[in-house]
Amino acid sequence: MSSILVVEDEAAIAELVSINLRHAGFDVTIAASADQAQAAVDAVLPDLVLLDWMLPGQSGLALAKQWRASARTRELPIIMLTARGDEADRVAGLDAGADDYLAKPFSTKELLARIRAVLRRKAPEALDSAVEIEGLKLDPATRRVTREVDGTLRELKMGPTEFRLLHFFMTHPERVHSRTQLLDRVWGDHVFIEERTVDVHVKRLREALQPAGCARLIETVRGAGYRMAQRLVATAGGGD
Ligand code: CA
């Protein structure tokens, strides 16, 4: 389930938006100030932030700039919510690093469409679309992972963490992900979980992929982390 952090000091609006988002299947956390929002993000990185411009204390605009300047939150999908609708403010919001901008009042339908568009672009692992690499298919809706081997479709069994890890890898192929990044994006937490945990689950994921002959798609990049290859390349040693 995708997680959304709603940063809004007006309780009635925060509540209304949350009800609509939960109804649409999102997991919602509310923060009423920039400080609360920062604490929430420090604890668990959400898939997307709906950030109100006008907040007591630090503004949403300043918070967006701050997040963009930090390595951990640089890629965090942000949609700015605001009563301001004119061109100059819109440009300022996008300049601060917001991925999109929505002027109040907005319809739930429009909000959901904008959220899905930003997630599709920046965090496809948070959506339910099926993905496929080298015949390996992962369908988040049915939670099935399959691959055709010698004319027979095989279903690969794996635990929920391995499934999320594979989903993240498949939606961000070819890029090297550090253990810290994987903890943030797959586990949602880079502080309280040991980096070694990542290695344990990558090992289990490779074991789960082995029967379909595609364990080698998950590559170890020495000193950097892991990467999902987009092609199965034969290695000198052969096999998986
Ligand atoms: Ca406000």
pLDDT tens-digit series, residues 90-103: 777 778 889 998 98
Predicted confidence at residue 239, as pLDDT, reads: 46
pLDDT at residue 234 tops 60: yes
Which class for 211: exposed (0-12), middle (13-18), buried (19 or more C-beta within 10 A)?
Answer: middle
pLDDT at 71 over 50: yes
Least confident of 30-34, 82-86, 150-154, 187-191: 82-86
Q: Which residues face 220 on adjacent strands?
A: 226
* Rounded distance from Cα 37 to ligand 1 centre (Å): 13
- In the reported structure, the alpha carbon of residue 171 is separated from the centroid of ligand 1 by a whole-number distance in angstroms of 34
pLDDT score of 104: 86
**Better pLDDT: 105 or 238:** 105
CA of 84 to the centre of ligand 1 (A): 11
| For residues 162-188, average pLDDT | 93
State the distance from the centre of ligand 1 to the C-alpha of 13, rounded, in angstroms: 9
Binned at pLDDT 50, 70 and 90, residue 87 comes out as confident
Domain with CATH 3.40.50.2300 in the chain: 3-120
Global pTM value? 0.81
CA 36 to ligand 1 center in whole angstroms: 14
**CB neighbourhood size of 46 (10 A):** 24
Distance 85 CA to ligand 1 centre (A): 14
Q: What is the mean pLDDT of the chain?
A: 91
Residue type, 115: I
CA distance 214 to 206: 8
Give me the residues near ligand 1 (ion), CB cutoff below 5 Å: 9, 52, 54
pLDDT at 81 over 50: yes
Distance 69 CA to ligand 1 centre (A): 23
Give the model's pLDDT for residue 105.
87
The answer to whether residue 65 scores a pLDDT higher than 80 is yes
81 C-alpha to center of ligand 1: Å? 9
Is residue 237 scored above 60 in pLDDT? no
* CATH superfamily for domain 3-120: Response regulator (3.40.50.2300)
131-228 CATH pick, 2.102.10.10, 1.10.10.10, 3.40.50.10480, 3.90.700.10: 1.10.10.10
Q: What is the pLDDT of residue 238?
A: 44
Place of tokens 């950097």: 224
The predicted model gives 80-109 an average pLDDT of 83
In the chain, ranges of CATH 1.10.10.10 domains: 131-228
Going from the Cα of 31 to the center of ligand 1, the distance in angstroms, rounded, reads: 11
C-alpha–C-alpha distance, residues 240 and 224, integer Å: 21
